[in-house]
Structure 1
């Protein structure tokens, strides 16, 4: 009788140790998976489903934009800001923090780090701004120092854009242009496209 009890105790102890080891392995596997998840993938997860509450984006100029994610590129995120129709393009480097409910935060962390690359994932900030330039859409460009420029993007290079300055809402005509600026992408906090446009 005592031997039966002894063997039952050994079996219980062995099963308990196996469970503890499996839990430790699962925890380590989850840590390794999370180590490979990039912020872009988490933002893409937010764009793929309608969140219960729009995330709040704290930006490098100290402002906060509360808006759903509409698209994610190689180095930027597209937002649908409140107010008049339009789109907002925010370089990932200009994001200081993103606030959202804990449930959304956990769901975004479950993003599949090994998802296949899409065309949108390869679109750089320059690519998207060249499209805005081609369409001759009016924009509002917010810079890191807090300055705001309005106008039309004449051209977008590899790491900068040329902006023809004019009043918001005005068409880009030679007599309406008050100046020109070359703006490095690193100085941009957000580009608000002041017209209905789909980024992806």
Structure 2
């Protein structure tokens, strides 16, 4: 009779342990989902620094390795180490992100303030020739000049030419919202 009771208790303990394990797994899954719900797109991109990604833009697909991420932009290195500055507002989708997930608020206090205008000012300061992909599929070549609060000025000239008064065809003011990608170098 005692064996029967021991068997009954052992069976009950095994069932209890299985239920406890299931509850713990469900709680861990739920906690993981809640934590992931706090991750922003920028945080997700921070977790992908160094990964090769495929970025869908309005005008064209863009491929590259994620080098840096700002609060509203990402910098990719493309073929031949060509840099591609992509405003996040222009991104339709990104594939190739690693399974790593960044911690919410991964960008530091200073880095979080380095917005798209900061990146454009760097290009303007260094007088780097760029190809600019615009909303609607238009493309322009030139060198950035001044960067305003919500626009940038592009001194248009032929690709490969240095920015000189004689080579500049026109200066075009471009709203930041119209930028789809900036190809430098």
Q: Same fold (TM over 0.5)?
A: yes
Aligned-residue Cα RMSD (Å) equals: 1.6
In proportion to residue count, which structure has more strand?
2
Is 1:77 aligned to 2:79, yes or no?
Answer: no
Match of 2:126 among 123, 126, 135: 135
Is 1:60 aligned to 2:58, yes or no?
Answer: yes
Is 1:88 aligned to 2:84, yes or no?
Answer: yes
| TM-score, L = length of structure 2 | 0.91
Match of 2:154 among 163, 178, 182: 163
Q: How far, CA to CA, are the matches of 1:70 and 1:122 in structure 2?
A: 17
Q: Which residue number in structure 2 is paired with residue 188 of structure 1?
A: 179
Matched residue count: 183
- Of 114-123 and 168-177, more deviation after overlay is shown by 114-123
TM-superposed deviation, 1:138: 1.4
TM-superposed deviation, 1:118: 5.2
Q: How far, CA to CA, are the matches of 1:122 and 1:13 in structure 2?
A: 54
The answer for unaligned runs of 5 or more in structure 2 is none
Q: How far, CA to CA, are the matches of 1:42 and 1:21 in structure 2?
A: 29
TM-superposed deviation, 1:68: 0.5
Q: Which residue number in structure 2 is paired with residue 197 of structure 1?
A: none
Q: Which residue number in structure 2 is paired with residue 198 of structure 1?
A: none
**Conserved? CA contact 1:72–1:121, under 8 Å:** no
- Of 20-29 and 119-128, more deviation after overlay is shown by 119-128
- Of 127-136 and 17-26, more deviation after overlay is shown by 127-136
